[in-house]
Structures are given as structure tokens and as C-alpha cells.
Structure 1
Amino acid sequence: MTKEILLNDKLIHVENYKEETGNGLHNIIIDFKVTSEDYHDIATLLYEGIFDVKVPERGLAFRGKIKEYSTSITNLYEKGNVGDYHLSLIEVRM
């Protein structure tokens, strides 16, 4: 199973990974943990909206955007909190 991806060269350790292709476009769906210490960096990254997506273990790279996104917790500012993030990224043609 794929254990990590890169979004704009930021390493994300994934717990679940699913890869789909539709209409010739790649779509990956990942679940990962975000700690209170990493929250600001991840939130800032996700606000960028468009990403260089790399999945080294699969030899996959594409430009992608957020298709779906959710988190189990909204207050990751409190020290020690950990959120479960769910993210779906779809390839965009430039």
C-alpha cells in the first residue's frame, strides 16, 4: 500500500490510499493524520488549491486540485489534538 505522497513537495504520510482514473484523469483519495503542531502548515498548503501531486511509490505525478476535503476536528490549535483528514485530489489539465 502507498504510504506517502508529496503535495507541492510537502511530504504527507497517508493511512489510506485509493487511486482512480476517469475520463483520462487521475484521482487519488487519501486519509491522513494532522497534529496540532502540523496544522498551520497543512492548512496553508491546502489553501493553495492547485498542487503538484507526486506518488513516488506508484511513479505517478500530475497537477491536481481538491475535489473533496473533510476533517474530523476543527480545533487543531489546542496542543495534543490530532485530526483525521480525508482528501480527494483530481487531475487538472493545464
Structure 2
Amino acid sequence: MVKEILLNDRVIPIESYEESHENGLYKIDIHFKVTSEDYHDIAVLLYEGSFNVKVEERNIAFRGTIQNYSTSITNLYEKGQVADYKLSLVEVKH
């Protein structure tokens, strides 16, 4: 099982990973935890919208963009909180 991905060289430990292809392009669905301590850095990263995506355990690298995104809670500015994030990334055609 894939344990981490890299988005713009930032390592994201993940809880689950699904990989598929849509129209010949990669699609990756991941689930990961975000703590209140990491919230700001993750939020800034995700607001970029497009990423260099690497899945080293699968020898995959592509330029991707967010197709879908959700979080279980929105009050991560409060200390000690942990949220479940779900993120779908799709490869961008060159």
C-alpha cells in the first residue's frame, strides 16, 4: 500500500490511496489526516491548485490539479484538532 505522496516536494503521509485512469490520464484519490499544527501549511499548499505529484512507491510523477476536495472539520485553527481530508487529483494534459 502507498504510504505517502509528494505534492510540490512536500511529503504527505496518507491513510488510503486509489489510482485510476481517466481518458488516459492519472487520477489519484487520497485520504490523509491534517492536524491544527499543520493546517496553515497544508491550506497554503492546496490553494495552489496545481502540483507536481509524485508517488515514489508506484514510480509515478505527473503535473496534476485538484478535481475534488473535502475535509471533515473546518475549525483546525483551534489547537489539538485533527481533520480527515479527501483529495482527488487528476493529471493535466501537456
Q: TM-score range by the shorter chain?
A: over 0.9
- Report the counterpart of residue 66 of structure 2 in structure 1: 66
Task: Using the TM superposition, give the Cα deviation of residue 66 of structure 1 relative to its aligned residue in structure 2, in angstroms.
Answer: 0.2
- Aligned residue-pair number: 94
Amino acid at match of 2:55: V
Tell me what 1:51 maps to: 51
Instruction: Give distance in 2, aligned partners of 1:42 and 1:58.
Output: 23
| C-alpha separation in 1, matches of 2:23 and 2:86 | 23
Moved over 4 A (4+): none
Match in the other structure for 2:93: 93
Q: Offset of 1:3 from its aligned partner?
A: 0.3
Match of 1:17 in 2: 17
Superposed counterparts of 1:26-41, under 5 Å: 26-41=26-41
Q: Secondary structure at the match of 1:78?
A: coil
Give how far 1:93 is off.
Answer: 1.4
Distance in 2 of aligned mates of 1:31 and 1:41: 17
Matches within 5 A, 1:72-87: 72-87=72-87
Normalising by the residue count of structure 1, what TM-score does the alignment of the two structures yield? 0.99
Uncovered stretches (5+) of structure 2, i.e. residues with no partner: none
Taking the aligned partners of 2:72 and 2:47, their CA distance within structure 1 comes to: 18
Structure 2 residue matching 1:42: 3-state secondary structure: helix
Aligned sequence identity (%): 69
What are the ranges of 5 or more consecutive residues in structure 1 without an aligned counterpart?
A: none
